[in-house]
Amino acid sequence: MRVEAPGGFLVLPWPGGGGGSDPALDLEPVEEDQGGLLLRSGALVGLILICVTVLRRWIAGGVCRSPARLDGKTVLITGANTGIGKETSRDMARRGARVVMACRDLTRAEQAAEEIRQSTGNGNVVIRHLDLSSVYSVRQFSKDFIDTEDRLDVLINNAGVMMCPRWLTEDGFETQLAVNHLGHFLLTNLLLPMLKSSVPSRVVTVSSIAHRGGRIDFDDLFSSRKTYSSMESYRQSKLANILFSRELGRRLTGSGVSSFCLHPGVIRTELGRHVEGWFPMLGTLLRLPSLLLMKTPSQGCQTTMYCAVTPGLEGQSGRYFSDCEEKEAAPEGRDNVVARKLWEESAQLVGLKDTC
């Protein structure tokens, strides 16, 4: 309602005052708008939750559904005190296996082992010291294992380092190739007699999709002459895992020992600690997205478990797996000539004269 005042002034009614308007009618559209906003907000939140749930299930990947029991069996797992190694140890313990956790840090290993004993009720979980960067340590570990254990049914080559600076081991090897490949190569060969005496047995090697684009530089394996790239070195070591597992499967045909390698997925573990050390801000920024976009260690160990316990995989020895099913490795991971050459070069580097 407008009133023309003397002198040409326009007089407007005071809100909530007289003027013939009903306050109840004025409030009704506001209440309807608020109710609609709440409804739309609730629907949006519900849709986001559904999308996140679907995304998490997709990221989780395959699940090992084998109910196989491992009572009376012995399983050796490297790098078992954290990440997927620890969760693999837990799953093996639940299945009744004797679990040997081979770790460099015995304090953390004992803490992890005690947690696994408590959570599974399996007291047959033991720790042993192993430093895969040292040829001496691998040889000493293998000797002690053979002297004290009766059998070895599953060897899981799980330990690894990722994108560390260019460190050289006591043997003069570049650390990533030493830990990820050469240490496991030597360990597997030294324990093969026990694996053969425990057939059917398996060797499971944890690799990575990062093997794609990798290259074995036989002229400069340790980046002594070229500029060091932590990523290229990591790719080389993961490709070496694939080629080693493939050649091992070929050499062990008909022996009763099977060899498998796998990509576990992108997992929230300590493996990327060196990357975060170089780029702290990157680690901080990616922490929240990683909760949504990376597997948990429990999810990450599923393909390892699949390769270790699923019946009937013997015919797929030497193959590559991901998300609990066989996948095709990159072309560079299927090169039998390079695989044989890498085997021979690795044996020479670690001083191994007799191989399978």
Which amino acid is residue 70, in one-letter code? L
Paired with 101 in beta bridges are 77, 127
CA angle 69, 199, 159 (to 5 degrees): 70
Would you say 175 and 234 are in contact if contact means Cβ atoms under 8 Å apart? Answer: no
Would you say 89 and 125 are in contact if contact means Cβ atoms under 8 Å apart? Answer: yes
Active-site residue 234, yes or no?
A: yes
Question: What residues contact residue 258 under an 8 Å CB cut-off, 6+ apart?
Answer: 200, 201, 202, 203, 249, 252, 313, 314, 316, 317
CA angle 64, 66, 72 (to 5 degrees): 120
Cβ atoms < 10 Å from Cβ of 192? 22
- Tokens at 290, concatenated: 């990683």
- Tokens at 182, concatenated: 């050469």
Q: Which of 136, 228, 234, 320 is an active site residue?
A: 234
- Tokens at 184, concatenated: 């496991």
Catalytic (active-site) positions:
234
